[in-house]
Amino acid sequence: MGANLIADGATFRVWAPHAHSVHVVGDFNGHLRTDTDLLTRDNYGHWLGFIPGVRDRQRYMFYIVGDGSEGPKRDPYARELETPFPSKCIIRKPDFPWHELGFITPPFHEFVIYQLHVGTFFTPNLPNKAGTFLDVALKIPYLTELGITALQLMPIQEFQTQFSLGYNGTDYYSPEMDYAVADADLASYVAKVNELLESKGQQKYEVAELYGEMNQLKALVDICHLHGVAVLLDVVYNHAGGSFGDESIYFFDRQATTGGNRSSLYFTDKGHAGGLVFDFAKPEVRDFLIQNAKFFLNEYRVDGFRYDRVEVIDHDGAPYGWIFCQDLTATLLTNTSNAMDLAEYWNVNPYIVKRPPEGAGFDTTLTDGLRIAIRNVIANASVPDERPLDMTVLARNLWPDGFYEHWHFVQGPENHDIVYKGRELRISNLGDPSNARSWFARSRARVATGLSLTAPGIPMLFMGQEFLEDKQWSDNFVDDQNLLLYWAGLDQGDKDMIDHLRFTRELIHLRNSRPGLKGQGFRIVHTHDQNRVLVFHRWVEGEGHDVLVVAHLGNAHRFDYCIGFPGGGNWREVFNSDVYDHWVNPQVAGNGGQVWADTQPLHEFNFSASLVLPANSLLVFAR
């Protein structure tokens, strides 16, 4: 489908079943319609043909004559678009100088996901330009040192406006052009990116190889893989668009609009988030979206997807939406067996991760139970009294009902939806609304992030969470520059930020190095709402690697607190969050690096130990 360079020209193919005629107009024919660029219709409503003399980076459009109107339309499969948007399509060779080092997507239980928004994550060129794919690439060593194993980009398909969350895309095969560095400004960027390649002993890019948003996104994926980081794209297959424009896929074969949006070829008349829900009853629409996912897996070598609001596909697309999900996941499993399919589905539905015919076939799904429970206890802990906290509810949400594999669910206390401008507070602000940098805020933020990184499920961090970012965020980098990430704090030696970054980094590395923190074995050992204590046990079934995690949200240290242990003898205190406050905390409370579990049965274990629980802390014990 779309435009594909072959031999001494290009093939063109587009689906427009109700069109009277379809021409290709472009740089190769003066953008004028002639008989030689009239495509031929097949029995399935596709228009196709070969045009000689077409070359790489030439511009083109389809000119469609229909019952309702006639005029140019952008190729739904266009690999790249001309700047500024909206404009013409650009025909591109799909080649790219990949560095072939045999990167393999990590097993799902080893994922630690970092979610970011390309336009606002790192913005060194404001006010002239928002963040770009190459700006993200330059931060990959930072993220690698942090220990994350997967980078999740918020939607990067072309959207209409200067800035956006990305959920209003209209051109599904072309990356967002505002996330690309202009050709004229590219040389200095390539020099910096090449330093990353040289540090890995790899061949440098030529400047011309990174012209255009297409190859700059590929360069980001390439750099990630060279650093051992998987890449997930956030894709929106439930709906498209906000304001489509006359040259978009809206009413693509130019039918009369009097029949409503069901005459618009790709869509139903059901709206969602300012756009329209795809018409999953049509095999061609289902195939358009499935081929889009295959395209990014095969041509961009991404490692999986986060699918936006799958319940909209299921409910508003009924009865064909669920079938589409099954077709999608089955096709991608055959195409790339180790790619991750992560569904967002509200309310949480365990059947989303079951295999067909019973389930939809996704690998994992976002869950909100642990997020809500963590935020609840942190918010209540911030009230200046000694009220009990819902540690029992928190414990119950560590492993959501209906899920049988610990990597079938993704959890974390922050994400782009929750802490967006005007919504909920970031964790440090939640921990102390009067002062987001106080000891109370810092210590409670460590507990919140620490629970996510030691609990069952795939943990997910939202950009800035790792260094105690206390502001909400916004995609509007023009009017809300005050909400951009505070990178200057790290650069200028903000002690609180640096300490929190060290805490997050070292706990992620502990998780990555301790099989028990990634194992299937899990049980709640002890909860006490009045004492604000939660203890859980994790291990690898059949192997051991036992780990005991103790969370305490009391505002004072507790001494001689007895906890059951799964084995006797010496247990090392391999992590103590209290040490990271004013690193190294001169007043650290804890257990001196080890405890001894003796033969006093407790909490359904045959052994127990007496612990010191620092105020607002997370402790981890292991053999």
Per-residue confidence (pLDDT) for residue 457, from 0 to 100? 97
Q: At residue 529, does pLDDT exceed 90?
A: yes
Q: At residue 242, does pLDDT exceed 80?
A: no
Q: CA–CA distance from 197 to each of 101, 115, 251 (Å)?
A: 12, 24, 45
Strand partners, 80: 90
**Whether the predicted model's global pTM rises above the 0.75 cut:** yes
Give me the torsion for CA of 132, 74, 184, 98, rounded to 10°.
60
Tell me the pLDDT band of 579, cut-offs 50, 70 and 90.
very high
Tell me the pLDDT band of 492, cut-offs 50, 70 and 90.
very high
The three-state (H, E, C) secondary structure of 216-250, written as one string: HHHHHHHHHHHCCCEEEEEECCCEECCCCCCCCCC
- The answer to whether 408 and 365 have CB atoms below 8 angstroms apart is yes
Strand partners, 622: 547, 572
Joined tokens for residue 259: 């029949």
Q: At residue 118, does pLDDT exceed 80?
A: yes
What number is the average pLDDT over the span 348-357? Answer: 96
List pLDDT tens digits, range 287-318. 999 999 999 999 999 999 999 999 999 999 99
What number is the average pLDDT over the span 529-538? Answer: 98
- The answer to whether 239 and 275 have CB atoms below 8 angstroms apart is yes
The whole-angstrom distance between residue 391's C-alpha and the CA centroid of its chain comes to: 29
Q: At residue 162, does pLDDT exceed 90?
A: no
d(CA 314, CA 316): 6
Q: At residue 30, does pLDDT exceed 90?
A: yes
Q: At residue 86, does pLDDT exceed 90?
A: no
Q: What are phi and psi of 171, to 5 degrees?
A: -120, 100
List pLDDT tens digits, range 439-474. 999 999 999 999 999 999 999 999 999 999 999 999
Joined tokens for residue 371: 């997020």
Alpha helix stretches (DSSP H) within 104-254: 118-121, 133-138, 140-146, 186-199, 212-226
d(CA 297, CA 295): 5
Per-residue confidence (pLDDT) for residue 127, from 0 to 100? 87
Strands (E), 302-425: 304-307, 340-343, 364-366, 409-411
Per-residue confidence (pLDDT) for residue 389, from 0 to 100? 98
What number is the average pLDDT over the span 168-187? Answer: 93
Per-residue confidence (pLDDT) for residue 243, from 0 to 100? 82
The three-state (H, E, C) secondary structure of 497-540, written as one string: HHHHHHHHHHHHHHHHHCHHHHCCEEEEEEEECCCCEEEEEEEE
List pLDDT tens digits, range 404-426. 999 999 999 999 999 999 999 99
> Taking CA 460 as the corner, what is the angle to CA 165 and CA 425, rounded to the nearest 5 degrees?
65
Burial grade of 70 (CB within 10 A; 0-12, 13-18, 19 or more): middle
Tell me the pLDDT band of 250, cut-offs 50, 70 and 90.
very high
What number is the average pLDDT over the span 325-351? Answer: 96
List pLDDT tens digits, range 355-378. 999 999 999 999 999 999 999 999
The three-state (H, E, C) secondary structure of 394-438, written as one string: HHHCCCCCCCCCCCCEEECCCCCCCCECCCCCCHHHHHCCCCCCC
List pLDDT tens digits, range 189-217. 999 999 999 999 999 999 999 998 899 99
DSSP run (H or E) holding 446 = helix 439-454
Q: At residue 619, does pLDDT exceed 80?
A: yes
Task: Look over the chain and give the mean of its residue pLDDT values, rounded to a whole number.
Answer: 96
Q: CA–CA distance from 194 to each of 186, 256, 302 (Å)?
A: 12, 52, 21
Q: What are phi and psi of 39, to 5 degrees?
A: -80, 160
Q: At residue 88, does pLDDT exceed 80?
A: yes
Tell me the pLDDT band of 128, cut-offs 50, 70 and 90.
confident
**More confidently predicted of 152 and 87:** 152
